[in-house]
Amino acid sequence: MAEAKLKVVLLRYTPEPERACAAAARQCNSAAGVEELTQKITGEEVARVLENIVKNGHHSVLEHAYFTFGVEGISRACSHQLVRHRIASYSQQSQRYVKETAFDYVIPPQVKNNGQALEAFEKAMQTAQEHYNTLKGLGIKSEDARFVLPNACETKIVITMNARELLYFFEKRLCLRAQWEICQMARAMLEECKKVAPLIFKHAGPTCETEGICWEGKVSCGKYKTIPGAELRERK
């Protein structure tokens, strides 16, 4: 047993994702064939088209670019939040087939920074491990023994999202009101995305930063107050 560490790797992505999305956008208002579109579009035009797409909210063409991440060192609590994002594909490590006889776990910063809380937390992890191993020793299958495992238990997952869904994911999960762990993971994913598609993800983030609007109402974190021109609005 040990503390798990977050790791995010961009495993695969659509070749030339920005060119693919720009070509798709041009096809909407062009009589040219596919080969002509992809051959003639220049780097400058790709940048211009994508700037208009993101600025004007015409995000459907961004669905043509896919990104696949390998993530490890997150908790089951985090993965439960992650799969609420429906337009994505997930392949998660199974506790039915992978034995957890020495599981790693994620420690929340608030717990780690409190000596008494950390002691109680680690004791709970050890107790859960002992109960799991006891059940396994009694011949209980992993799929049933796992019922005593905590939300803190580390998991690994492969995630595939298109660029449009990623922009939505970053909007929601980079907000300061998002839970700290999924926010940390989203930040690492965005860093990887910017390496291969900087134009698409140039303005990715919470709406207070990208649109000057906070939609969180009474539960707003208040960050919008520090951004010139940003305002609080409520959905009707």
Domains and CATH numbers, the chain: 7-90+155-205 (3.30.1360.170), 207-236 (no CATH)
Q: Which amino acid is at 159?
A: I
CA dihedral 164→169→170→172, nearest 10 degrees, is 130
- Distance CA(193)–CA(214), nearest Å, equals 24
DSSP 216-236: -GGG--SGGGGSTT-EE----
**Among this protein's residues, is 173 annotated catalytic?**
yes
* The predicted structure's pLDDT at residue 41: 78
pLDDT in tens, 172-184: 999 999 999 999 9
Extract the runs of DSSP E, i.e. beta strands, from 32-83.
66-75
Among residues 173, 177, 233, 235, which one is catalytic? 173
Judge whether 186 and 1 are in contact, CB under 8 Å. no
* The predicted structure's pLDDT at residue 187: 98
DSSP 98-129: S--TT--B---HHHHT-HHHHHHHHHHHHHHH
Band of residue 30 on the pLDDT scale cut at 50, 70, 90: low
List phi, psi (to 5°) of 74.
-105, 160
Band of residue 53 on the pLDDT scale cut at 50, 70, 90: confident
Token match 């034995």: residue?
99
Band of residue 170 on the pLDDT scale cut at 50, 70, 90: very high
Question: Across the chain, what does the average pLDDT equal?
Answer: 93
Name which of 40-54, 112-126, 140-154, 181-195 the model is least confident about: 40-54
- Distance CA(84)–CA(159), nearest Å, equals 13
Please tell me the total number of residues recorded for the chain in this structure: 236
pTM of the full structure: 0.93
Band of residue 36 on the pLDDT scale cut at 50, 70, 90: low
Does residue 149 surpass a pLDDT of 80?
A: yes
